[in-house]
Amino acid sequence: MKKAAMMLVFLALFVTAFAGSASAASKTPKLYLNGQELQSASAPRIEKDTTYIPIRTVAEGMGFDVNWDKAAKQVSIHNGKSMIELTINKKIATVNGLSVALPTPAKIMGAGSTSTTMVPLRFISENMGLEVYYDSPSKSVYLYQNDASSGNGSGGATPSPAPTPTPTPTPTSTPGSGGTGSETPTPTPTPGSGGSTAPADATGLVTSIKYDGIGTTTIAYTGTVGDAQPFLMTGPDRIVMDIPAASFAADFANGFTATSAKMGEVVVDSQLLTKVRYSYYSDKPSTVRVVWDLQAAAEYAVTKGEGTIQLSLLGALEPVPTTPTTPSGDKIFKVVVDAGHGAHDPGAIGISKKTEKSFNLAIALKVNALLKAEPRIQPILTRSDDTFIALDERAAIANRLNADLFISIHANALPGSSASGTETYYNRADSKTFADIVHKHLLAATGLPDRKVQTAGFVVIKKTTMPAILTESGFLTNSKDEAILFNEQKQNEIAQALVDGIKEYLKLS
């Protein structure tokens, strides 16, 4: 049932995304100002790559007065500090007495009582201090007022002294009582003003969205949000996740180069991802949308915790049975790097209370970085931060990706003993050669006693379907081993040893 519902949602969005101009009427594009939908007789419109918006609706929503001089075919927009004058079909406008060029002239669109003056969006954003976000799937335009420049005609015109932000309708504690006749939730005030009030139907507040630079995006929230189910969309490839019943917290902080407090993006240098962006998707019901723009359709995993939603990119989805190749046609090997334990599962506790999970993650990240530099290896981390992932899921990630190799990174413990040394485990016969080769390199790097290659039934090396090994670099319960394992230089050598082993096994060295 859930699947059917998902499919419906997917179809709806798919249809919307490809509605195009031919059937634009079937889904009216919407216009939002500071997260609130603006009710207008005319929807935003795209003509010859220019997006036009109804100037009166937007300007009045920002607290400007709008006058229309029918004889002169001139619109004047003013708020006591700024004055913008536009003439229909003229490419020059006046902003605070200075001439400013428009990309295309203002136009009257529609007829009779529905005729509206439409102005190029770019002119509005540049001259009225608005940040613009265009959401392609819904064909909606999101405008956010920028505190610093609102209404001062900053686009090359003389800046007037810092204006007070124009009064957006003040949020009140009595949503629905507004006199506009619309039942729009209370609007979000100007970004950055710190006085954000959640729309009435938002039960959760997004407090931060952070990208770890590796592949995981963490969305933190307070309260309760609806069931966020990401889905893949194509043309261009992207993952879209809508978080129902969510709004942005007043103190929303993010790890992004935010373009405003309520929307932003981070540009990512990754094989898989070009950027992550976020904004409001809808205010009725209040919905926050996060979009991952991909280089190609990708496999991902979602982990939901208390107050967090994490989405990790695992690797590119291959078009059916083909294997990825380099431009010269060489196969690219997918290597899953599994940092053992995580979050509430610390693994072994060292003699000086250091945790195995942190050692495992440090090595996995170093291995990942080294493998990324290999043109014929695509590394995939099962976790890139302190997250808990079930053992079965770790194996499933590798199996779903049809990975070529799986390496699980651990450290040993034997409390009350002086045990010391390096071990490497495999389960199936097809993994023995891989274990032998990696062990040889790892042993040389740790310089610890050789506790040999061994077999064991650990879930991650048993349930994976490709050559899979598990390394135990040393014993955290041994002070000498522990010192080596947490020495930065030694960690680099251990990571390099694992990479050397992988490359030797794949005959890439």
Binding site for Zn ion (CB under 5 A): 340, 347, 410
Residue closer to Zn ion, measured from CB, 315 or 342: 342
Tokens of 439: 């062990």
Identity of residue 96: N
Considering beta carbons, is residue 85 or 356 the nearer one to Zn ion? 356
Residue type, position 467, single letter: P
| Smallest separation (angstroms) from Zn ion to the CB of 410 | 4
Is the CB of 260 or the CB of 431 nearer to Zn ion?
Answer: 431
Q: For the residues of 312-343, what is the DSSP string, one character each? A: EEEEEPPSTTPPPB-TTS-B-EEEEEEE--BT
Q: What is the nearest approach in angstroms of Zn ion to the Cβ of residue 492?
A: 21
Rounded least distance, CB 333 to Zn ion, Å: 25
Q: Which residue is nearest to Zn ion (CB)?
A: 410
Cα 45 to Cα 51: distance, rounded to the nearest angstrom: 6
| Min CB(446)–Zn ion separation in Å | 16
Pick 51 or 420: Cβ nearer Zn ion: 420
Least distance to Zn ion, CB of residue 455, Å: 17
Residue 409 beta carbon to Zn ion: minimum distance, rounded to whole angstroms:
9
| Nearer to Zn ion among residue 444 and residue 456 (C-beta) | 456
Q: CB-wise, 345 or 504, nearer to Zn ion? A: 345
Which H helix or E strand runs over 95? strand 92-95
The β-bridge partners of 96 are none
| C-beta of 143 vs 361, nearer to Zn ion | 361
Residue 506 DSSP code: T
Q: Going along 327-482, which residue ranges are E strands?
A: 333-339, 377-381, 405-412, 422-426, 450-455, 468-475
* DSSP 8-state secondary structure symbol assigned to residue 430: G
User: CA–CA separation, 33 vs 265, rounded Å?
Assistant: 19
The secondary element (H helix, E strand) that includes residue 310 is strand 308-316
Q: How near is the Cβ of 358 to Zn ion at its closest, in Å?
A: 12
Q: How far apart, in whole angstroms, are the C-alpha atoms of residue 315 and residue 304?
A: 20
* Number of CB atoms found within 10 A of residue 507's CB: 6
